[in-house]
Amino acid sequence: MIFNTLSYFLLFLLPCAVAFRVVHAGIKPWICALFGIVFFVYFSVSELHGWLAAACVFIFVWESLFRQFYRPAHWTCLAGILISVLILFVFKYWNFATGLFTQPFGENPFHWSGIFLPLGVSFFTFEFIHYAADRYKGTVEKGTTGEYAAFIFFFPTMVAGPIKRFQDFAPCLRNPSRNWSLDWNRGITRILAGLVKKFALADLLTSMTDHLNTGDILAAERWVLCLWILAYGWKIYFDFSAYSDIAIGSARLFGIETPENFDWPYIRTNITDFWRHWHISLYRWLVDYVFIPLGGSRGTKPFVLRNLLIVMLVSGIWHGAGANFVVWGMWHGLLLIVHRIWSQRSGATVEKSVPSRLHRLPAWLATYAAVNFGWVFFCMDLDTASVFLWRLFGG
């Protein structure tokens, strides 16, 4: 985790935040961009492929240059979206995708043994796509080169989000909050909250949930497996929300507000509401750039339900390259479909289906259990997950 290193705080966050505060307004975007470039290179060279990974900084440079050609309803925006998708596909899904096609024939001749993941590739490509799509629709201003460079190189959100929107980020960049004491008080408090979540909670649960193998599963009692699922669910929540807290707090030191990512998702009483409060920036991105372009809630019921399933499949694949993530996405897609059908048949819209007090507890229990059941597929390959479920329910 980059956020728990002294390098992050002493070499990047504090110097950049202070410099951003004191320099002239016209230089502020370039301060963010410069520190972001150095950040990307610095933390990339420590990875397996070192300087090759660091060279991926040119992806950002290319995007900054190519976006100059984006105009409303122009083919360059569509080309930018396609290229961004290809970048994500090649680096993250190449071996998985080619393996699926060549599996019936044995060895995968297209396997790329030297493949690596550029730092934050899943997040920055989604921001590339957002900007190109909104430029195509004419709903976002072009902005200056410096503003766009700061947007894509803003290092607090580069690694683990939240996924930003240019139309929200640019005004904060131009007119950041000038209340130093309030911003630094709230920013540091948020960072400390994230560090406590990470070290005191997430890492403790990680030591309990990691390294589970088939032998452990076969030897464990059912109640132990149930506790393991619950522990993993809280581990991933504390881990990911800790990253978000540190990123949001870091941005606050600049006087910049970034989107919230988690809002007590485990207290929600239906799966739709859960997704509105779990990884919020991703959920909103999927709604705006997958669900709505597919037709959203317009059309026949099967058409809408298909859209829900596709959105969750995209969510699953975005989280990782593996068949287990596909199954996890399908599981949540099916949950959303069931909830939508139930809501419509009960005479309530999905947006207004708030359980009465009598039904709130069982609704919460059902939602919480369904979400935690899905973590089995999220954290294990399908073979291990099959053994886990067999042992949990039958073996």
- What is the SS3 string spanning 278-314? CCHHHHHHHHHHHHCCCCCCCCCHHHHHHHHHHHHHH
DSSP labels, 71-94: -TT-HHHHHHHHHHHHHHIIIIIH
Q: Read off the amino acid at residue 374.
A: G
3-class SS of residue 26 = coil
**Residue 66 predicted with pLDDT over 90:** no
* Closest listed residue to residue 66, CA positions, set 81, 78, 80: 80
Mean pLDDT of the region 311-323: 95
**Residue 351 predicted with pLDDT over 70:** no
Give residue 119's pLDDT band: very low, low, confident or very high (50, 70, 90): confident
pLDDT for position 300: 86
**Residue 382 predicted with pLDDT over 70:** yes
Q: Read off the amino acid at residue 42.
A: Y
How far, in Å, CA of 266 to CA of 233, rounded? 9
DSSP 212: -
pLDDT for position 347: 65
Give residue 337's pLDDT band: very low, low, confident or very high (50, 70, 90): very high
Mean pLDDT of the region 220-229: 89
Give 122-157 pLDDT, tens digit per residue.
999 999 999 999 999 999 999 999 999 999 999 999
**Residue 349 predicted with pLDDT over 70:** no
168: how many CB neighbours lie within 10 A of its CB? Answer: 14
How far, in Å, CA of 130 to CA of 150, rounded? 15
**Residue 105 predicted with pLDDT over 80:** no
pLDDT for position 395: 65
pLDDT for position 47: 65
**Residue 281 predicted with pLDDT over 70:** yes
pLDDT for position 70: 87
> Which segments of the chain does DSSP mark as H helices, in order?
6-7, 14-22, 28-44, 50-54, 57-66, 75-88, 94-102, 121-137, 145-153, 166-174, 180-196, 203-209, 214-219, 222-253, 271-277, 280-286, 301-319, 323-345, 357-379, 382-393
Which residues are known to be catalytic?
A: 319
pLDDT for position 49: 63
**In the block, residue with structure tokens 């409060």:** 277
**Residue 77 predicted with pLDDT over 60:** yes
Mean pLDDT of the region 289-306: 91
pLDDT for position 64: 80
Contact 274, 177 (CB under 8 A): no
Mean pLDDT of the region 359-384: 93
Sign of the torsion formed by the C-alpha atoms of 291, 293, 298 and 300: negative
Sign of the torsion formed by the C-alpha atoms of 117, 118, 120 and 121: negative
Residue 305: C-alpha distances to residues 55, 355, 387 (Å) = 42, 22, 31
Q: What is the mean pLDDT of the chain?
A: 90
Contacts for 343 with CB less than 8 Å, ≥ 6 apart:
270, 272, 349, 350, 353
**Residue 159 predicted with pLDDT over 70:** yes
Distance of CA 283 to the CA centre of its chain: 9
Q: For the chain, give every domain's residue range.
A: 2-103+115-175, 177-211+222-258, 263-395
3-class SS of residue 102 = helix
Give residue 252's pLDDT band: very low, low, confident or very high (50, 70, 90): very high
The better pLDDT of the pair 363, 60 is held by: 363
**Residue 41 predicted with pLDDT over 90:** no
pLDDT for position 170: 95
pLDDT for position 50: 66
Contact 159, 117 (CB under 8 A): no
Q: What is the reported pTM? A: 0.91
Residue 219: C-alpha distances to residues 229, 384, 389 (Å) = 16, 14, 14
pLDDT for position 214: 74
* Closest listed residue to residue 83, CA positions, set 52, 138, 125, 140: 125
**Residue 350 predicted with pLDDT over 60:** no
Contacts for 214 with CB less than 8 Å, ≥ 6 apart:
384, 387
Q: What would the two tokens of residue 384 be?
A: 């291990």
Dmax over Cα atoms in the chain, in whole Å? Answer: 67
**Residue 321 predicted with pLDDT over 80:** yes
Mean pLDDT of the region 43-47: 77
The better pLDDT of the pair 227, 112 is held by: 227
